[in-house]
Amino acid sequence: MTLIDGRPLAAAIRGETEAGAAELRGRGLVPKLGALVATDDPATAWYVRSIAKAAEQVGIAVEQVTLEGASPDVAGTLEALSARGDVHGIICLTPLPEGLTLAGVAEHIAPAKDVDGASPLSLGRLAAGLPAFAPATAQAVMEILAHEQTPLNGAEAVVVGRSIVVGKPLSLLLLAEHATVTVCHSRTRDLPEVASRADVLVAAVGRPQLVGAGYVKEGAVVIDVGTNATEDGGLVGDVDTAAVEPVAAGVTPVPGGVGPVTTAILLRNVVTAARAAG
């Protein structure tokens, strides 16, 4: 079994991004990410700070727009950011105030600036095979599989989780690479049986260590998207890595697998969007 470390791949992507940002800055164009925050959730604040720090290191500016109050104008603010020439990428952090969904508000992000593929327009374009940003996490999974030279053409891929931010877009990306894709969710009957058909198994559930040895076919590649906080302040994935280790050909660790690649890709998308705008 190989532990698939995402950090060297993330570093390589950051290197590309830094070079791209430097080239744009040389032309007087500073790539900028607008980050809308409409919550006082400390985990969200921590996440935005970590993105801002990573962005700064590669030469990308981040402008945080914080909305307060019971009914902030999230849609209007996203439209205003979309209209600004100096903002090239936009993300809308969750959680959102009650009554709002990410998909509902994200349709107010211009598709060309939707660097985390949150808008239903981006998802629709992806489904139609048109150019679009996919959610960075889904892109990260694909990038890891490509880096590991995992064959996808004709392979059985099982994605556990059907969320609009991970499972659904990832299933479209796998399909575009000619995998035979099965998408599982909380109503799937006999999940271990379905999962153990997979050559490529992706867990994007949010249930600590749900995926054990009985879910994994001998020689499968297992990608763990899950990030579950532990009581001692740590992080654990959806895969029981120790149990899966003897069976799988490779498994991504949590932390240090999909997460760092996701952040690197989000920032690369900002440079791509800035380049297209300039």
Residues that bind ligand NAP (CB under 6 A): 137, 160-163, 165-167, 184-188, 191, 204-207, 210, 225-228, 258-259, 262
Output 138 or 273, the one with its CB closest to ligand NAP.
Answer: 138
- Whole-angstrom Cα distance, residue 79 to residue 214? 47
- Whole-angstrom Cα distance, residue 253 to residue 270? 26
Output 24 or 138, the one with its CB closest to ligand NAP.
Answer: 138
Please state the closest distance from residue 135 (CB atom) to ligand NAP, in A.
Answer: 8
Output 24 or 105, the one with its CB closest to ligand NAP.
Answer: 105
Please state the closest distance from residue 186 (CB atom) to ligand NAP, in A.
Answer: 3
The residue among 91, 15, 102 whose CA lies nearest residue 54 is 15
Query: Which residues have C-beta within 8 Å of that of residue 189, sequence separation ≥ 6?
Result: none
Please state the closest distance from residue 35 (CB atom) to ligand NAP, in A.
Answer: 16
Burial of 220-234, coded b for 16+ CB within 10 Å and e otherwise, reads bbbbbbbbbeeeeee
> Distance of CA 172 to CAs 11, 175, 186, 187, Å?
26, 5, 20, 20
Residue type, 158: V
Output 47 or 176, the one with its CB closest to ligand NAP.
Answer: 47
Instruction: With beta carbons less than 8 A apart as the criterion, state whether 96 and 102 touch.
Output: yes
Please state the closest distance from residue 160 (CB atom) to ligand NAP, in A.
Answer: 5
- Whole-angstrom Cα distance, residue 239 to residue 244? 8
Please state the closest distance from residue 54 (CB atom) to ligand NAP, in A.
Answer: 13
Tell me the two tokens of residue 168: 């659904």
Please state the closest distance from residue 254 (CB atom) to ligand NAP, in A.
Answer: 8
Residue nearest to ligand NAP (CB): 163
Output 229 or 276, the one with its CB closest to ligand NAP.
Answer: 229
Please state the closest distance from residue 69 (CB atom) to ligand NAP, in A.
Answer: 26
Output 138 or 247, the one with its CB closest to ligand NAP.
Answer: 138
- Whole-angstrom Cα distance, residue 143 to residue 257? 11
Output 180 or 228, the one with its CB closest to ligand NAP.
Answer: 228
- Whole-angstrom Cα distance, residue 35 to residue 28? 22
Output 116 or 199, the one with its CB closest to ligand NAP.
Answer: 116
Please state the closest distance from residue 80 (CB atom) to ligand NAP, in A.
Answer: 26
CB-CB neighbours of 186 under 10 Å = 10
- Whole-angstrom Cα distance, residue 107 to residue 91? 12
